[in-house]
């Protein structure tokens, strides 16, 4: 089996295949000013597609950022769907609210919750969600994974951004805490009989799994 199928130029082509709309580009620019790095266009398009495939009405997002990933998710959700997005940074959520408003998204379609994932997730309903997206502190991914599986209905989807972590996860010599946490997460998702997993080489890596 060859080590790689895609060249760097092909991966760049994939990343730029879907062109973001003006509202998403503006949200991305605000995110850069705030220092929060959102999912790339290819990963965002993947989130939108997954939300559409599962006909998502209820989605949980950990890591609101400036609203880039939220815009992608809402773009694939049902028109009556609600995005619950959690972040510890109020400034980020204010930027996300601005992004949603600029995109013409009605306020009843999203809930911005300021708090930590460990505080918020246990209060959410078992099996009450179609999709969970995680882009938060990497060392917490293992805990968020268990909570996500609890929250998902059968047939629901979980997605973790930064699953390749700047090419560090695939390098066994890299042993920093974030890399180790992401490597262990990948193994846990891959080996969980409750899930059907895939690791997608878009952006910084998107680890996805469907709950059986």
Nearest to 16 by CA among 42, 53, 34: 42
Higher pLDDT, residue 180 or 11: 180
Rounded to 5, what percent of the chain is helix, strand, coil?
Answer: 45, 20, 35
- Give the Cα-Cα-Cα angle 134, 136, 140 (nearest 5 degrees): 95
pLDDT bin (cut points 50, 70, 90) of residue 170 is very high
pLDDT tens-place string over residues 189-198: 999 999 999 9
Q: End-to-end distance of the chain based on CA atoms, in angstroms?
A: 29
Looking at the predicted structure, is the pLDDT value of residue 3 above 90?
no
Which of 5-14, 84-93, 197-206 is predicted least confidently? 5-14
A 10 A CB-CB count for 127 gives: 11
User: Cα–Cα distance between 125 and 127 in angstroms, integer?
Assistant: 6
Three-state SS at 88: coil
Three-state SS at 148: helix
pLDDT bin (cut points 50, 70, 90) of residue 6 is confident
Instruction: Characterize the bridge pairing of strands 82-87 and 110-114.
Output: parallel
Looking at the predicted structure, is the pLDDT value of residue 2 above 80?
no
pLDDT at 115: 96
User: Cα–Cα distance between 201 and 203 in angstroms, integer?
Assistant: 7
Q: What crossing angle do the helices spanning 22-34 and 90-102 adopt, rounded to 10°?
A: 170
pLDDT at 39: 96
Residue written as token pair 């028109």? 79
Domain annotation for the chain: domains and CATH numbers: 8-211 (3.40.50.150)
Q: 31 phi and psi, to 5 degrees?
A: -60, -40
pLDDT at 138: 96
Looking at the predicted structure, is the pLDDT value of residue 1 above 80?
no
pLDDT tens-place string over residues 124-136: 999 999 999 999 9
pLDDT tens-place string over residues 105-117: 999 999 999 999 9
Looking at the predicted structure, is the pLDDT value of residue 176 above 80?
yes
Mean pLDDT of the chain, nearest integer:
96
pLDDT bin (cut points 50, 70, 90) of residue 4 is low
User: Cα–Cα distance between 22 and 28 in angstroms, integer?
Assistant: 10
pLDDT tens-place string over residues 21-42: 999 999 999 999 999 999 999 9
User: Cα–Cα distance between 96 and 77 in angstroms, integer?
Assistant: 17
pLDDT bin (cut points 50, 70, 90) of residue 5 is confident
- Identify whether the C-beta of residue 204 lies closer than 8 Å to the C-beta of residue 159: no
Task: Give how far the C-alpha of residue 118 lies from the chain's centroid of Cα atoms, to the nearest Å.
Answer: 17
């Amino acid at each position: 089996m060859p080590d790689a199928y895609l060249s760097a130029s092909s991966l760049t082509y994939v990343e730029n295949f879907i062109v973001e709309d003006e509202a998403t580009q503006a949200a991305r620019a605000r995110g850069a000013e705030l220092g929060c790095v959102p999912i790339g266009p290819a990963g965002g398009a993947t989130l939108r597609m997954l939300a559409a495939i599962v006909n998502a009405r209820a989605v949980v997002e950990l890591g609101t950022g400036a609203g880039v990933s939220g815009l992608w998710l809402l773009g694939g959700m049902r028109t009556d769907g609600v995005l619950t997005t959690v972040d510890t940074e109020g400034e980020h959520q204010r930027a996300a609210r601005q992004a949603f408003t600029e995109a013409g998204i009605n306020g009843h379609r999203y809930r911005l919750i300021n708090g930590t994932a460990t505080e918020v997730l246990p209060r959410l309903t078992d099996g009450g969600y179609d999709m969970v997206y995680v882009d938060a502190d990497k060392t917490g991914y293992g805990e968020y994974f268990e909570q996500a599986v609890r929250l998902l209905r059968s047939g629901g989807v979980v997605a973790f951004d930064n699953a390749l972590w700047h090419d560090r996860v695939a390098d066994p010599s890299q042993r920093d805490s974030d890399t180790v946490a992401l490597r262990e997460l990948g193994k846990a998702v891959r080996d969980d009989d409750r899930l059907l997993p895939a690791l997608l080489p878009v952006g910084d890596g998107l680890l996805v799994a469907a709950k059986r």
